[in-house]
């Protein structure tokens, strides 16, 4: 028979801590509300990525259309621009966004939780215990 390995606090299910008086309210409540709460860090980062990606695509497409009009050429559509090398070259050259995303990750990891992640606090950990 194999040995059972003790789960780390990151992997501990929040249902085991529902009776803890210091647990955050979504953990105490349980049920469906604890699912999005236990993945809040990943959801927030995905939402920020999607909003900034779409804003960057929109701004870049507009700029490319202005440049094409200035040279008397037809403007390309959003999907054409999305698959263009110029869009991706400009996107990868944007160092400020990388520094900003790292800072956002650090700040959000202080407040939000991601089940199973060693970078975030355990889902059922009370706010006072983890510095928030």
pLDDT tens, 1-52?
Answer: 445 445 555 555 666 566 677 777 777 777 787 778 877 888 888 898 899 8
Give the distance from CA 106 to its chain's centroid: 11
pLDDT for 62 equals 94
* % of the chain at pLDDT higher than 70: 77
The CA–CA distances, whole Å, from 77 to 16, 50, 82, 98 equal 52, 19, 9, 27
What is the chain's mean pLDDT, rounded?
A: 78
Q: Is 11 left (phi over 0), alpha (psi -120 to 50) or beta?
A: alpha
The Cα–Cα gap between 82 and 91 comes to 11
The Cα–Cα gap between 103 and 109 comes to 10
pLDDT for 95 equals 66
* % of the chain at pLDDT higher than 90: 22
Average pLDDT, stretch 85-99? 80
| pTM beyond cutoff 0.75 | no
The Cα–Cα gap between 28 and 14 comes to 9
């Amino acid at each position: 028979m194999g040995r059972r390995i003790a789960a780390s606090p990151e992997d501990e299910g929040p249902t085991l801590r529902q009776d803890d008086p210091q647990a955050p309210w979504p953990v105490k409540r349980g049920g469906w509300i604890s699912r999005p709460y236990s993945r809040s860090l990943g959801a927030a980062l995905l939402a920020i990525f999607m909003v900034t990606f779409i804003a960057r695509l929109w701004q870049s497409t507009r700029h490319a259309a202005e440049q094409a009009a200035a040279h008397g050429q037809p403007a390309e559509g959003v999907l054409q621009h999305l698959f263009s090398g110029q869009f991706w070259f400009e996107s990868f050259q944007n160092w400020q966004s990388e520094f900003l995303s790292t800072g956002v990750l650090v700040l959000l990891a202080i407040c939000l939780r991601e089940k199973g992640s060693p970078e975030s606090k355990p889902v059922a950990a009370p706010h006072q215990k983890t510095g928030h």
